[in-house]
């Protein structure tokens, strides 16, 4: 995949071990022998280049975090700063406050990052420079970036954030201002194409497992106890599936990729009834995007970024379960738990902290080489450069015929479909 280059890289890199633009990573490493090479994208390998486009002594970089919280945001900010200053000797790095709003001059002034400022931020959840949702006034934002002399902008966020970053690059290009925009994909849901694991995902699974452990205790400590836990996952059930397999205590998992029916002999409520009569307790996990078809006609609107808001499947399912067992004259003790915001605001665990560091350092390498309009991807244990438009055009979902979903079915014992 071709990556946009601002121009000829002329400055020698201070990093001795570099990689060539000619090295690539295939999208698929396992292929049908008769179809080798067909429909198999090749991505530019990330890493330090031999020549830099930007003179480090004259370079100014900015960082912006957008969208919802995710474990590891502060780790990324810190590692971006450290790689810029320690590896490349760049000493003007700014954190723009409150997401894309911070690019506008009428809002809070950006923070100049220092070693003291970033010293302990990786130990905290959230983002020290703040975040928000919503689009950016591209012309006014570029006016401000040009006025400040910003050469590099790191955009940490989802597909909307990255499309916004690309718009900033295109506007700067029209004006003849060299601006490298490099995205770092941020989604706790692990649903980004060309990224085998996003930062924050494993922390979310770990935190969710603790919630499931306690929810399981609540359910089995009373007769006919039912614990229902809603976890993150707007379009994909990776967190819910990962936590279910790691926990091994979940009896039912509902995810966006697998539609389900509530009523009828093979419906979810009938299967749950059998479980309660046989075992006297049940632990249910539902991903936030599951079962949206059951709430059809209830328009929840859109958020500031233009994303469709989800109807609350957790509350709906809780009420349907309570009503069903009441009609069946079976007394149950219902517990409903939604730990989503507690999980999102957690600091990253060790595994995610390492991943954050690697995403950040590879983003700096790309930017200093003058590459732009790209997002750092992660495939086959290699970091890659992915054009923003390509990453934003594809969505990763659970393969319900694959190993991950088969593991869920084995761990829960639930039927493949509730229908």
Task: Tell me the domain boundaries of the chain.
Answer: 4-198+346-393, 201-343+401-412
- The pLDDT assigned to 30 comes to 76
Distances (CA, A) of 104 to 28, 76, 113, 116, 377: 41, 23, 18, 26, 29
- The pLDDT assigned to 134 comes to 82
Closest CA to 97 of 71, 123, 117, 116: 117
- The pLDDT assigned to 13 comes to 96
What is the mean pLDDT of each successive set of 10 residues along the chain, which is 419 residues long?
Answer: 91 95 89 62 95 96 95 98 97 96 93 96 96 90 95 92 90 92 93 92 97 98 98 94 97 97 96 97 97 79 65 96 97 97 96 97 98 95 93 87 95 94
Rounded CA gap, 88 and 283, in Å? 51
Same fold, 4-198+346-393 and 201-343+401-412: yes
| 357 assigned to active site | no
CATH of domain 201-343+401-412: 3.40.50.460
Rounded CA gap, 190 and 195, in Å? 8
Element (H, E) at 319: helix 313-327
Rounded CA gap, 146 and 71, in Å? 32
| Active-site residue, selected from the candidate residues 189, 249, 338, 352 | 189
Closest CA to 57 of 3, 118, 11: 11
Are 239 and 204 within 8 A, CB to CB? yes
Burial class (CB in 10 A: 0-12, 13-18, 19+), 127: buried
CATH of domain 4-198+346-393: 3.40.50.450
């Amino acid at each position: 995949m071709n990556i946009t280059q601002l121009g000829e890289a002329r400055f020698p890199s201070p990093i001795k071990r570099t990689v060539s633009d000619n090295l690539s990573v295939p999208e698929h490493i396992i292929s049908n022998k008769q179809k080798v090479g067909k429909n198999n994208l090749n991505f530019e390998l990330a890493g330090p280049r031999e020549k830099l486009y930007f003179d480090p002594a004259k370079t100014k970089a900015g960082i912006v975090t957008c969208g919802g919280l995710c474990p590891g945001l502060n780790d990324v900010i810190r590692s971006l700063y450290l790689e810029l200053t320690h590896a490349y000797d760049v000493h003007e790095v700014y954190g723009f406050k409150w997401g894309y709003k911070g690019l506008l001059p009428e809002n809070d002034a950006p923070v100049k990052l220092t070693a003291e400022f970033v010293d302990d931020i990786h130990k905290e959840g959230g983002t020290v420079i703040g975040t928000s949702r919503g689009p950016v006034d591209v012309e006014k934002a570029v006016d401000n970036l040009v006025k400040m002399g910003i050469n590099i902008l790191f955009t940490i966020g989802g597909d909307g954030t990255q499309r916004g970053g690309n718009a900033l690059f295109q506007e700067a290009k029209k004006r003849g201002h060299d601006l490298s925009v490099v995205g770092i994909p941020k989604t706790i849901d692990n649903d980004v194409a060309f990224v085998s694991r996003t930062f924050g995902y494993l922390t979310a699974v770990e935190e969710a497992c603790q919630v499931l452990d306690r929810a399981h205790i609540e359910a089995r400590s009373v007769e006919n106890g039912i614990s229902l836990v809603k976890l993150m996952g707007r379009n994909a059930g990776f967190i819910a599936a990962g936590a279910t397999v790691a926990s091994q205590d979940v009896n039912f998992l509902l995810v966006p990729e697998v539609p389900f029916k509530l009523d009828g002999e093979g419906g979810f409520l009938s299967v749950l009834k059998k479980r309660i009569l046989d075992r006297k307790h049940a632990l249910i996990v539902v991903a936030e995007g599951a079962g949206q078809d059951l709430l059809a006609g209830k328009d929840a609107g859109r958020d500031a970024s233009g994303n469709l808001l989800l109807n609350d499947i957790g509350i709906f399912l809780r009420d349907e379960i309570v009503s069903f067992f009441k009609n069946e004259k079976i007394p149950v003790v219902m517990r409903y738990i939604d730990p989503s915001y507690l999980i999102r605001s957690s600091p990253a665990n060790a595994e995610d902290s390492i991943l954050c560091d690697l995403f950040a350092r590879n983003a700096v390498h790309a930017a200093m080489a003058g590459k732009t309009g790209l997002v750092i991807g992660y495939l086959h244990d290699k970091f890659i450069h992915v054009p923003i438009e390509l990453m934003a055009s594809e969505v990763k979902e659970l393969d319900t015929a694959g190993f991950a979903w088969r593991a869920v079915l084995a761990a829960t014992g639930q039927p493949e479909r509730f229908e």
